[in-house]
Amino acid sequence: MASDRPQHASDAPRVAVVGATGAVGMSLLQLVEERGFDYASFELVASPRSAGRTVEFGGAELVVREIDDVDFGSVDVAFFSAGTALSRIWAPRASAEGALVIDNTAAFRMDPDTPLVVPQVNASVLDRRPASGIVANPNCSTIPLVRVLRPVLREWGAEQVVVSTYQAASGGGYSGIGELREDARSQLAGPPYSVPVKEFPPGLAFNVIPFIDTVLDDGGTVEERKMAQESAKILASPELDVTATCVRVPVVNGHSEAVWIRTRRPAEREAVIAELAAQPDVVVHESTDPVSTPTPRHNGDPDRVHVGRIRVSEDGCGVWLWLVADNLRIGAALNAIQIAELLREKGKL
Q: What is the pLDDT of residue 10?
A: 65
Q: Are strands 318-325 and 255-262 parallel, antiparallel or unpaired?
A: antiparallel
- Residue 308 labeled ligand binder: no
248 carries a ligand binding annotation: yes
pLDDT of residue 47: 86
- Give the whole-angstrom CA distance, residue 199 versus residue 134: 29
Task: Give ranges for CATH 3.40.50.720 in the chain.
Answer: 3-138+332-345
Q: According to CATH, where is 3.30.360.10 located in the chain?
A: 142-168+208-326
122 is an annotated ligand-binding site residue: no
Question: How far is Cα 177 from Cα 190, in angstroms, rounded to an integer?
Answer: 20
The reported pLDDT for the residue numbered 48 is: 86
CA angle 59, 252, 187 (to 5 degrees): 130
Question: 128: annotated binding-site residue?
Answer: no
95 is in an annotated binding site: no
* Distance of alpha carbon 131 from alpha carbon 109, whole angstroms: 14
CA distance between the termini of the chain: 23
Q: 21: annotated binding-site residue?
A: yes
Give strand ranges (E) for 290-344: 305-312, 318-325
Does 140 qualify as catalytic in the annotation? yes
Report whether 309 belongs to an annotated binding site.
no
Report the CATH number of the 3-138+332-345 domain: 3.40.50.720
Q: Which of 140, 246, 306, 317 is catalytic?
A: 140
Identify the pLDDT of residue 24.
97
The CATH class, in words, for 142-168+208-326 is alpha beta
How do the pLDDT tens digits run along the chain, 349 residues long?
Answer: 454 444 456 689 999 999 999 999 999 999 999 999 999 999 999 988 888 999 999 889 999 999 999 999 999 999 999 999 999 999 999 999 999 999 999 999 999 999 999 999 999 999 999 999 999 999 999 999 999 999 999 999 999 999 999 999 999 999 999 999 999 999 999 888 778 899 999 999 999 999 999 999 999 999 999 999 999 999 999 999 999 999 999 999 999 999 999 999 999 999 999 999 999 999 999 877 777 899 999 878 999 999 999 999 999 999 999 999 999 999 999 999 999 999 999 999 8
The answer to whether 246 is a known catalytic residue is: no
DSSP labels, 53-103: -EEEETTEEEEPEEGGG--GGG-SEEEE-S-HHHHHHHHHHHHHTTPEEEE
Set 8, 246, 255, 285: catalytic member: 255
Contacts of 23 (CB under 8 A, 6+ apart): 170, 173, 174, 177, 328
